[in-house]
Amino acid sequence: MPAARISGVGMYVPPKVVRNDDLRAFYDTSDEWIYTRSGIKERRWAEEPASTAELGYYAAQEALQAAGKKAVDLDLIIFATLSPDLYFPGSGVLLQQKLGLETTPALDIRQQCSGFVYGLSIADQFIRTGMYRTILLVGAEVQSTWIDYAPEGRTVGVLFGDGAGAVVIEATEALGRGIRSSHLYSQGAYAMELCIAEPSSATRRHILPGSYGMRPYMNGKEVFRHAVQRMGEAIQVALSTQNWHPNEVDLYVLHQANIRIVQAVAEFFGLPMDKFFNNIHKYGNTTAASIPICLYEAQAEGRLKAGDKVILAAFGSGFTWGSVALIW
Ligand code: UT7
């Protein structure tokens, strides 16, 4: 049975940098509040007419190049986003068209901040069964268009950013490399704790021309508490399945929602923070894009080498969460 291995990573963030102090144009906030509560210093915002599929396309091109593959080599595209270009169809088919492909299947998944972890698990299953050998997984978001710029939107608005990350996942017969296990969870009882409930098919509200019309909601403290507990559990099950001691793992890459969440998880396992790769200070929370952007930068900085033991974990809206253990 082949294993699934990440063979190329790419990322793209829009050039426009928005620093914490720049947000004071909309909100009663400060660099001090945002940085001490979340670890964020700045984020990127796409300038119109950039779309989620377009950001994903730039990241995908880099991942393909890194893997030494062409778009025509792809058997499947998986697109993870909570901010698709359109209500329907999904951004996957838009990316497929941008890549110049004719009939390659494109699958969109809606697992928000856990989208990349879910996507890796899905890719792993397709490769293990032998159905596909080369899969592109993209996590991309344009969130600056749903942020609520009204004063009451500040708690959520300061946290999120735009960006994209992509990986090429290939079948490998080389023993000991690739994805070793994945564990996925969700709990719809908490669906309304972090959501954009309008516009929706349930409310039949429509966005008026010239108005954003979105009202994101987050119960920050509840999300924080669950994020620490659930990512801790998901990491523990990954460690137990692999029979790895926490210290034996070379690098942990957790979804970048709040540096204090990562610190709490590190503390739970008694691990130093240098076992965790973080870049939230530069990009804020890029939802489905955050883990692949971390993988790209970790590799570029020499913190991911062939044979390294790696654990990825994510938690987000749904609630959804999960972990992946892999040998880089
Ligand atoms: O991607 C996965 C999903 N997201 C997460 O995992 C995020 C999880 N939650 C969090 O990261 C944190 O709960 C937040 C960063 C969102 C908030 O931190 P907190 O320590 O829980 O702050 P809080 O919501 O309790 O707010 C404390 C105070 C409040 O003022 P009062 O009521 O104490 O007077 C807020 O009104 O801070 C105020 N506040 C702000 N002040 C300045 C809220 N937002 C802001 C802001 N600037 N942007």
Task: Specify the ligand 1 atom closest to the Cα of 29.
Answer: 47
Which of 124-138, 200-214, 222-236, 261-275 has the weakest average pLDDT?
Answer: 200-214
**Residue 155 Cα to ligand 1 middle (Å):** 5
The domain 3-172: what is its CATH number?
3.40.47.10
Strands 134-141 and 178-186: unpaired
Write the DSSP assignment of 169-197 as a string of letters: EEEE-STT-EEEEEEEEE-GGGGGGEEE-
How far, in Å, CA of 276 to CA of 124, rounded? 24
41 or 48, higher pLDDT = 41
**Residue 145 Cα to ligand 1 middle (Å):** 21
Please work out whether the CB of residue 259 comes within 6 Å of at least one atom of ligand 1: no
Please work out whether the CB of residue 223 comes within 6 Å of at least one atom of ligand 1: yes
Identify the band that residue 205 occupies on the pLDDT scale cut at 50, 70 and 90.
low
Mean pLDDT of 203-230: 81
| pTM (two decimals) | 0.96
With tokens 């704790």, the residue in question is 193
| CATH class as words, domain 178-327 | alpha beta
How far, in Å, CA of 309 to CA of 190, rounded? 32
How far, in Å, CA of 135 to CA of 129, rounded? 13
> Which has the closest alpha carbon to 4: 78, 102, 71, 100?
78
Percentage of residues in the chain with pLDDT exceeding 90? 91
Bridge partners, 108 (sequence order): 79
Domain with CATH 3.40.47.10 in the chain: 3-172, 178-327
Which of 3-12, 16-25, 42-51 has the weakest average pLDDT?
Answer: 42-51
Q: Is 255 a residue of the active site?
A: yes
* Atom 3 in ligand 1: residue holding the nearest Cα: 316
pLDDT of residue 176: 84
Please work out whether the CB of residue 265 comes within 6 Å of at least one atom of ligand 1: no
Residue 208, Cβ density class (10 Å: 0-12 exposed, 13-18 middle, ≥19 buried): exposed
Please work out whether the CB of residue 126 comes within 6 Å of at least one atom of ligand 1: no
